[in-house]
Chain A
Amino acid sequence: MTAIISAVNVTKRYGEVLGLNGFSAEIGPGITALVGPNGAGKSTLFRLLIGQLRPDGGSLTVLDRPAWGSVGAHREIGYCPEGPAVYDWMTGWEFVVYLLRLDGFARAEAERRALDAVQTVGLGTAAHRRMHGYSKGMRQRVKIAQALAHGPRLLLLDEPLNGLDPVGRVELQGLFTRLAGSGHHLLVSSHVLYELERMTEQVVMITNGRVVAEGNLHRLRAALDAHPQSITLRTPDPRRLAHLLAPWPHVTSLEFSGEDVLVVRTRSPDAFYQALPELVTREHLAVRGMSSPDDDLETVFRFLAG
């Protein structure tokens, strides 16, 4: 396998805090998911890859060139940062055109590519509105648009699905899959493993600045499924919901937390998420919120790390 990104013992410090702590991984062609809890070092890695930060130790190469100092290589890399900040006073289209022109595209070509990009990400007429009025989802779309407008070989997408509604998530997951199918390479990060598994089987799991697991997703999922996952449900009638969930074979425990919160531990979150909507509809239940806490994923990573 030809490595698109090669990291050997990469370290990055912020004062006394270690952002990356001996991170080593080889990331190959296609889509690779980078999964880890908040603060694991995902964004630090992206910033190192794009040359915004310099590694304090180890070696990091992107497309066969050192990540730090290879400004020319940026023409082949598209980066979508995690943070929501954009140039609020510009329209989305102007923003994409500006960045294309920084890459040396002539005005007419930049405008054409920008239009394609904003249409591809589904920004619609909002592309011609000033970004200070954008929702989180619109900001996310315009950030992705500027990342892919110049046709890069490699896309670095840091939590690209944040702030998007479920329909938007599915749309963009489809886009990423199509891009990979047409020869692009993508490194996509998230703290939610399950939203990435629709797109790829290759995953790198990171926590505390280190790789704890990498490789085929199915193998890792088997290991994860051996460790029950917590799902918190907010409902006005947790006891009735618990009574209905108790017979499910993959539910290992049920716990009440407060008047309207039920914490479910399940060995198979996929099966749980698939079956829950039908149960809610059939029994006319009101489920007002659902979440899977990060600290539980942290527990899983610790489990994987032994």
Chain B
Amino acid sequence: MREALGRIGVVAYTSWRGSLVGRRGLGLALVAATYPLLVLAIGASRRTDIDLLAASELLYSALFLPVLLLLLCLVLGVSLFRGEIEDDTIVYPVSRSLPRASLVVGKFTGFVVAALMFLVPAALLGAAFGAYLNVDPGVRLEGLEATLLVTTVLATVAYGAFFLLLGLLTRQALVIGLIYGFFWETFVPLLPGPLQDLTLIHYLRAIGGNLVTTGPLGEIGPPVSLATAVGVPLTFALLVLVVSCLYLGRAELRPEASPA
């Protein structure tokens, strides 16, 4: 067991390092930093007619979560396996005595650490700027940090697992991921009716509705209980990871360009 965990740890560490290599790490940091920088920019204007904390919550819900976080998870998540399959370096880990499921778990772990390195500070900084640069000094965070932390972590885990599987399944993972993110997760929740229950973001936003009593995140109101809001993305991620392990265990992994 200890050896198995050790090997998964090696994969996780290497996956984490690989996620940050070159300009990609810088690019992803800038994507995540867009949110706190926007809040900072608004705060710097010292406008008295803007509740900066409320603005930061709104930006989190409407920009950070469905766009910035999703984009970062898409780029990192898809590349976990797709990059190695396309350049045929996947042959190295699969030709070792490491169980393929351990590859999935290890790579996913490395991804989560790498993604959260960018996303958690960005989310918390945005809220901090919103509270402390607010023209009204009496505004408090009132549990907002916990909400943002839980939501950011759950969103990363859920979206990341999905994009990992997408990267395993198809060369078109980026395109399909973009369509999923910017159509299914963005527009479907705006439609009336039960369809929004099939989106992850519906549950992720509901975390705020359960934990925060004021501000835009609190005004979402709890359409679902906290247990459901947390449980659905977690269960989704777990199921997707299990499917990924089962798929990889039986998949042939070769570049689709031509026979070897």
Contact = CB atoms under 8 A, between A and B. Distances in A.
Given A17-B259, A54-B252, A89-B21, A99 B92 contact: yes
Interface of B: 3, 6-7, 10-11, 14, 17-18, 21-22, 87-89, 91-100, 252-254, 258-260
Which of B95, B100, B258 has most A Cβ within 10 Å? Answer: B95
B95 A79 contact: yes
18 contacts: A44-B260, A47-B91, A51-B94, A52-B91, A54-B252, A74-B97, A77-B95, A79-B91, A79-B95, A81-B91, A83-B88, A86-B89, A99-B92, A99-B96, A101-B6, A102-B11, A103-B96, A146-B92
The 3 tightest CB contacts between A and B, nearest first, are A14-B259, A43-B260, A75-B97
Interface in A236-257: none
Given A81-B91, A103-B98, 8 more contacts: A44-B260, A51-B94, A54-B252, A81-B88, A82-B260, A87-B89, A89-B21, A102-B97
Interface in A43-97: 43-44, 46-47, 50-54, 71-75, 77, 79, 81-83, 85-87, 89
A74 B7 CA distance: 15
Given A52-B91, A71-B100, A74-B97, A98 B260 contact: no
B10 A101 contact: yes
Contacts of B3: 104
B91 A50 contact: yes
B259 A52 contact: no
B93 A85 contact: no
A37 interface: no
A47 B260 contact: yes
Given A14-B259, A44-B260, A47-B260, A74 B95 contact: yes
Nearest to B8: A102
Contacts of A98: 10, 14
Contacts of A82: 260
A19 interface: yes
Interface of A: 14, 17, 19, 43-44, 46-47, 50-54, 71-75, 77, 79, 81-83, 85-87, 89, 98-99, 101-104, 146
Contacts, number: 79
B89 A85 contact: yes
A19 B88 contact: no
Nearest to B98: A102
Contacts of A50: 91, 94-95
Contacts of A89: 17-18, 21-22
B257 to A, nearest CB: 10
B97 A103 contact: yes
A53 B95 CA distance: 11
A194 B252 CA distance: 33
Nearest to A54: B252
Contacts of A104: 3, 6-7, 97
Contacts of A52: 91, 94-95, 252-254
Contacts of A44: 259-260
Given A52-B253, A53-B252, A71-B97, A19 B260 contact: yes
A47 B6 CA distance: 27
B91 A102 contact: no
B96 A102 contact: yes
A179 to B, nearest CB: 18
Contacts of B7: 101-102, 104
Contact of B99 (A71, A77, A85, A87): A71
A205 to B, nearest CB: 18
Contacts of B11: 102
A22 to B, nearest CB: 16
Which of A43, A50, A71, A146 has most B Cβ within 10 Å? Answer: A71
Nearest to B3: A104
Contacts of A85: 87-89
B95 A51 contact: yes
A44 to B, nearest CB: 5
A54 B89 CA distance: 18
A17 B259 CA distance: 8
